[in-house]
Structure 1
């Protein structure tokens, strides 16, 4: 008599369990709500700029009948009239001189001060650094009255040096705060190797420090340039002659002179802000990279 043996095979416990639902995968590009909010913010920032630029291509009749419409037909006469005037180019030159001088002074002085604060050890270094950092808490609006008295006593009223020197002073705290971490991050071994090769402290500064800190230097230079180009309050108190007006003051004077001609005022305003927008757009990555390096340092 033969007996049959039945072999019963049981599946593993993992195979008997029902398959679990995999968690919902996140979108590879992140949360759509963040992008929606970002697009709304960008639109709120760009719409006024676009309205001013397009308004310069319209006539006063078009602006009156349809304030939110597009130019129909496009009119370039407003821009040609502004570009053909001597006063506009004189104000562009004044703004360029003030911005370039402010940038050069802030970068050179800030780089030298940052080098001392970052690479030298002396008593009171922390207090001196804190003093420069405290300068960020005092905007120019707070100091405009005593600053006006100082500039008047120095005989710098109604001149570009009266605008340039205070702008350099107010740009130094930001420059130093950004550059000190860059210079501290330079390894001491590089400095020791340079001294062994016979380099002086000044030679090490010119040959090693400046090239290694160039991202921070470019960032601070861009910030100083844009800050000077858009400066309005200080030139308003210092400059009284239209011949030495910078572009922000020129926009105000032009708006008062041609208050009836809205289209021409919009054309002048758009031309005055386009250089700063283009400059910032070209070097925006440099600014972000420089600030990121300062935070890491």
Structure 2
């Protein structure tokens, strides 16, 4: 149940859920590439690829920060090649990078539409495709997409059809590639949170501090990802995992550590099917 000496290639990852996954792996002694655009500090957001790399090494891992725009095929190829050269291969691909804009059809300009599709759907496809030749040589290879279950209800499209299309594009990579590469022993899965996660997206786009107070910390996603990535790849593929359910399978029953300041129900996340909420005893409000 360890990622010691495993090599993870993470798109994005300079902050939020991606960084939390990186730090959890680093505590095992993993090698982590942070492939993202944030070489310089953002005026409103914490973290760069270099601060992430420092935190990874302080946590016990080895880090490779790479400036990489996953919309650019040449940059992805160079980042993957640099990872394989430095660490001797790639065991795990985490498709974490994502763009969001929750606007209706008439309020979504095509530049933003293209950005979401280029990063979410195309970026996931490209990063996975580029990592797969290395994953085929790994002992227990995994691709993990931070993407939702394919719950094809109109409520998830109404109001932000462009974003949903782009995000479900990541999920369709899971659906298709898990079957395509099953014979190669490569696990391809999605992971999605039951509740909102306290990230920059929540604080800046999805309700601010009020919603953040009803959210869990990114560490719940990191712990769930760790549980998935340490499972046998050939027996763990084609799943649309929900973070809390993964950890319950691992024997966890108390999730208060992930939302210590919450005073009431937590905010249920986008795209979580009704039947998932129905089978949990966690108190969740349908904020989203």
TM surpasses 0.5: no
TM-score (structure 1 length as normaliser): 0.24
Structure with the greater alpha carbon radius of gyration = 1
Determine which structure has the larger helix proportion and give its number: 1
Q: Which protein has greater RCO, CA pairs closer than 8 Å, 6+ apart?
A: 1
TM-score (structure 2 length as normaliser): 0.24
Determine which structure has the larger strand proportion and give its number: 2
